[in-house]
Amino acid sequence: MSKVLQSGVEIIEKMSREFFYLHFIRGVCKTRPFASLASFKAKNLSEKERTEVRAILSNNGIPFELTSSEQTLDDVAAAISARAVALK
């Protein structure tokens, strides 16, 4: 039986290279809400912007429930950024 992934960071780390590239590099990372999150951290975003980022992540494989706090959003953004840099 496979282990259930408990965090958005674990999900990012376990994604195939192709899925990550297609959904995150070519999609999520190019959105304004994600750019704001990566640049300014979740505590500096409006509630609307945080909800937009959570919806974008949810549409790309990170369950909405796993991004409920500011810290988890910051952790997911850091994991996405680190993995994006590692792809180059």
User: What mean pLDDT is predicted for residues 1-8?
Assistant: 64
Work out the average pLDDT over 48-59. 96
pLDDT tens digits for range 63-78: 999 999 999 999 999 9
Please report the pLDDT score of residue 6 as a whole number: 82
Distance CA 6, CA 21 (A): 22
**pLDDT the model gives residue 36:** 95
